[in-house]
Amino acid sequence: MKSKKRLKLSDMILYLVLSLGAFIMVLPFVWTVLSSLKNMGQTFSVPPTILPNPVVWENYPESLQALPFGRAYFNSLYIAVVVVAVQLLTASMAGYAFAKLKFRGHNLLFILFLSTMMIPSQVTMIPLFLIMKNLKLLGSHLSLILPASLFNAFGVFLMRQFISSLPGELEEAATIDGASVPQTFFRIILPLVKPSLSAFGIFVFLGQWNNFLYPLIFLNKTESFTVPLMLNFFKGTYATDYPLLMAGTVISIMPVLVVYLFFQKQIIQGIAITGMKN
């Protein structure tokens, strides 16, 4: 009885801590939504008002009309989709090579490949800018798509861990049936790694959608700006229209919320299965 009581008490403490952490994490989002429904006077009122009174719904259409958000949405969406598609292919192919194709020095090459994750992005920012400049890609979306699409050490590690857990008998059976390595990968391995591909694809999409620094450096035309860059226009030199900024922020994070709500099961499943085997 004492052990059960202690277990229940520990569970209560755990749930309390998790609930407190969840409340702290969701508080900024709630504040953003409430601020997007206020006017400038309510935003800076003293003492601060939590609930908007009156509710200013006009902030949302005004924020959409103030800046070309439609074009920015299209830019962010197609950049994210292209990067996700290419990274899923390249990361899964590299993960399969490191997991199943035993070639000379593959372990050393994999360690060197993973070591790039320890290099801060700020270190490679200037060399990458110079490369894009020499290739005459500055100002175009290719400067964002190419570097992000062709290299992702985390994705290769994720796919390698998942593919390593697959039984080798599948490849042996495919080889006996006369399948080549590409046929084995595309027809047998790739359909089995859908949970890990889903998790990785969602991570890449969220990262690309929220990317602000690299578009700020590589893009120089308003018509090519992404959503994070477009939101930055609400910040003026001497004043900032915070209600419109908050309304635009809420609009910009809606695709992220939709992706997470519909694919959270794939995220959890992909991470759980991927970490089962080293």
- Give per-residue pLDDT as tens, 86-116: 999 998 888 888 888 877 877 888 888 888 8
The H helix count followed by the E strand count for the chain is 15, 0
Question: What is the DSSP code string of 30-59?
Answer: HHHHHHTTS-HHHHT-SSPPSS-SS--TTH
CATH of the domain at 151: 1.10.3720.10
The answer to the question of residue 171 being in a domain is: yes
The answer to the question of residue 224 being in a domain is: yes
How many other CB atoms sit within 10 Å of the CB of residue 171?
19
The answer to the question of residue 39 being in a domain is: no
**Domain tally, the chain:** 1
**Quick one: which of 178, 199, 196, 200 has its CA closest to 187?**
178
| pLDDT score at 277 | 46
CA 93 – CA 189 distance, rounded (Å): 10
CA 21 – CA 27 distance, rounded (Å): 10
Residues spanned by the domain of 210: 66-274
| pLDDT score at 73 | 86
For residue 52, is the peptide bond before it cis, meaning its omega torsion is within 30 degrees of 0? Answer: no
Q: Taking all residues of the chain, what is their mean pLDDT, rounded to a whole number?
A: 82
- 205-250: pLDDT as tens digits: 888 888 888 898 898 888 888 888 888 877 765 567 788 888 888 8
DSSP state letter for 185: I
Amino acid residing at 16: L
- 159-177: pLDDT as tens digits: 888 888 888 788 778 888 8
The secondary structure element, H or E, covering residue 247 is helix 242-274
Whether the pLDDT of residue 7 is over 60: the answer is no
Amino acid residing at 269: Q
Residue written as token pair 């995220």: 267
| pLDDT score at 86 | 92
